[in-house]
Amino acid sequence: MADGGTMFFSVNGLSKHFGGIHAVENLSFTLERGEILGLIGPNGSGKTTTINMVTGALRPTGGTIVVEGSDMAHSPAHLFARRGVARTFQVPRLFRRMTVLENLIVPALSDYAERRSTAEERARGVLQFLKLGHLANQYARALSGGQQKLLELGRALMLKPRLLLLDEPFAGVHPRLLEEIIDHIKSLNRDGHTIVLVDHNLEAIQSVVTRVMVMARGQKIADGNVAEVLQNPDVVRAYTGTRTSH
């Protein structure tokens, strides 16, 4: 249950087991409205599994995912999206043989109250914001890697998200576009969006977030201020490959 303050998203004792493999174990954290959290950790630490669970793409083995007071741990992905929990993927998963504009209209129309004309107007606004307006009628498959990441961000924005989960938005992006993506994320956060940012690019993450959570082997090993967390011996050990004390 939300605490009645600004906290609106909480994960409690979340676990995901694939047979004998414990991909995520007893993970708990909360997010306050308007917060921007960096989620980092070495490969295989359970970051993407966590993102998949808190967006309904994977059903947890145990634990709760509370969004504005409702436990959604066993809800399907489309209900998370309708509740404003939007995501991007590590490798962009666009509707490749649909136009850029159509890619944006799909999430808007998943809300039955939204009319096509309104959806199209909003989509053009998002394209302007992302500086992709000139590509509106191109097929999504024709875009460059960086443009595809931006379009996926735009698709998430069309859900009018309360929480944005960005899975590796900086990976494989041209340095010039990287700055552009960072600016967009900062601007979205200034506008009040709550954001969870998963990436390996610590430099880029530090330029955007104030709080960072570190995972290793499916567990949370640190959570707090960026500078302090990055000095944490457990975090250093996790990144240098030494076994942690857990």
Partner 1 sequence: MLHLSFTRWSQAVLLIVALLLPLGMGPYWIHVGAIAWYYALLAASWALLAGYAGQFSFAHVAFAALGGYASALCAGQLGFSLPVAIITAILLAAVIGALIGALVLRLSGPYLALFTLAISEIFRLMLVAEEDVTRGMLGLPVPGLFTGKSDIPYYYLGLALVVLALVAMNGLLATRVGLFLRAIREDEGAARASGVDTTRYKILVFVVTSVIAAIAGIYYGHFIGILTPNIAILPEMGLVIAMAVIGGIESLPGAVIGAVVVFLLSETLRSYGEWRFVLMGLALILVQRFAQNGLFPVLESLGRRRQERRAAIPSVGGPSNG
Q: Of 107, 88, 236, give the one whose Cα is nearest residue 171.
A: 88
User: Exposure of 69 by Cβ count < 10 A (0-12 exposed, 13-18 middle, 19+ buried)?
Assistant: exposed
- In the complex with partner 1, which residue's Cβ is closer, 37 or 81? 81
- In the complex with partner 1, which residue's Cβ is closer, 26 or 110? 110
193 touches partner 1 by CB under 8 A? no
Tokens standing for residue 62: 């145990």
How does 226-239 read in b/e, with b if 16+ C-beta sit within 10 Å? beebbeeebbeebe
Quick count: other Cβ atoms within 10 Å of Cβ 22?
Answer: 16
Q: Of 11, 38, 66, 2, give the one whose Cα is nearest residue 195.
A: 38
| Rounded least distance, CB 239 to partner 1, Å | 30
Span near partner 1 by CB under 8 A; candidates 4-12, 25-33, 81-89, 142-150: 81-89
155 touches partner 1 by CB under 8 A? yes
Nearest-angstrom CA–CA distance, 211 and 214: 10
29 touches partner 1 by CB under 8 A? no
Nearest-angstrom CA–CA distance, 204 and 86: 21
Quick count: other Cβ atoms within 10 Å of Cβ 186?
Answer: 14
Select the residue interacting with partner 1 from 65, 66, 159, 222 (CB under 8 A).
159
Select the residue interacting with partner 1 from 27, 40, 105, 182 (CB under 8 A).
105
**Beta pairing partners, 64:** 12
Restricted to residues 48-67, the positions that interact with partner 1 (CB under 8 A) are 55-57
| Rounded least distance, CB 101 to partner 1, Å | 11
Q: At what angle do helices 100-109 and 116-129 cross, to 10 degrees?
A: 130
| Rounded least distance, CB 235 to partner 1, Å | 30
- In the complex with partner 1, which residue's Cβ is closer, 102 or 223? 102
Restricted to residues 110-149, the positions that interact with partner 1 (CB under 8 A) are 110-111, 116
| Rounded least distance, CB 30 to partner 1, Å | 23
| Rounded least distance, CB 141 to partner 1, Å | 10
- In the complex with partner 1, which residue's Cβ is closer, 77 or 171? 77
Q: Which residues bind partner 1 (CB under 8 A)?
A: 55-57, 76-78, 81-82, 86-87, 89, 93-98, 102, 105-107, 109-111, 116, 155, 158-159
